[in-house]
Amino acid sequence: MGILKAGQAKLAIFASGKGSNAEKIIQYFVNHNNIHILLIVSNKSNAGVLDIAKRSGIETLLLEKKKFMESNDYVQYIKNQGITHIVLAGFLLKVPDSLIHTYNNKILNIHPALLPAYGGKGMYGEHVHQAVIQAGEKETGITIHLVDEEYDHGKTLFQAKVNVEPNDTPASLAEKVHRLEHEHYPAVIEKWVSRTS
Ligand code: GRF
């Protein structure tokens, strides 16, 4: 783990699952001059991302759904930790307005499709790739966007595309999309944080 320096941007990553994106982000920013990953937040006690955080020596915060949606205490806690930006990486709960207003334009999400298509409530993971295949799309991709009060709705900062082949399955598409995510998300975060610090 890098050493925390004064004036650095301090990021929290929110994730509910395996955490492969979180892992790439953590690796990318180890020893970074201006950006430090300070906290991993998850709503699932068995999320792989918590093991990744522990292995990387990063503090974790487990927030079960009710607390996340209804309490304000953790918003204050995150602020007190000095967190400047929040990055969602496979985080499955809708971000409550209190957090969005505290971190106005400072929360970024990655979505595994080309928004505004295949977004909204219920459009996550395999559901997205299934819908893309069922609709006979020739391409899909990733969207990195700011988070606002509506699902998958904030301003898009970046998109990248990949072809959908006739023999693709939801699992093979998920793999292709993950590759794109790992390739681009850390660098897009870096640019965004530099612009907004
Ligand atoms: C990614 O495909 C992301 O776009 C979506 O959830 C998945 C998370 O994967 N929102 P991982 O936990 O980072 O491996």
**Nearest of 13, 15, 19 to residue 52 by alpha carbon:** 19
The position carrying tokens 């219920």 is: 122
Ligand 1 atom closest to residue 177's alpha carbon, by position in its atom list? 2
The torsion region of residue 45 among left (phi > 0), alpha (psi -120 to 50) and beta comes to alpha
Q: CATH assignment of 9-196?
A: 3.40.50.170
**d(C-alpha 71, C-alpha 105), whole Å:** 21
Structure confidence at residue 6 (pLDDT): 62
**Span from the CA of 98 to the centroid of ligand 1 (angstroms):** 24
For 40-49, write each residue's pLDDT tens digit. 999 999 999 9
Structure confidence at residue 3 (pLDDT): 56
**111 classed as catalytic:** yes
For 159-179, write each residue's pLDDT tens digit. 999 999 999 999 999 999 999
Structure confidence at residue 4 (pLDDT): 59
Distance from the first to the final alpha carbon of the chain: 22
Structure confidence at residue 55 (pLDDT): 96
User: Which residue is closest in CA terms to ligand 1's atom 10?
Assistant: 90
Q: Is 110 in the pocket of ligand 1 (CB under 6 A)?
A: yes
**d(C-alpha 102, C-alpha 94), whole Å:** 15
- State phi, psi for 11 to the nearest 5 degrees: -105, 145
Half-sphere exposure of 85 (CA within 13 A, CB side): 23
Structure confidence at residue 5 (pLDDT): 60
Prediction pTM value:
0.95
The residue from 85, 111, 145, 184 that is catalytic is 111
**Span from the CA of 43 to the centroid of ligand 1 (angstroms):** 14
Given strand 139-146, what is the order of strands in its sheet? 59-62, 35-42, 9-14, 85-88, 107-111, 139-146, 156-163
- Total residue length of the chain: 197
**d(C-alpha 115, C-alpha 118), whole Å:** 6
Residues of the chain short of pLDDT 50, as ranges, are 1-2
Q: Is 18 in the pocket of ligand 1 (CB under 6 A)?
A: yes
Structure tokens at 192: 């965004």
Q: Which DSSP category does 111 fall into? A: E
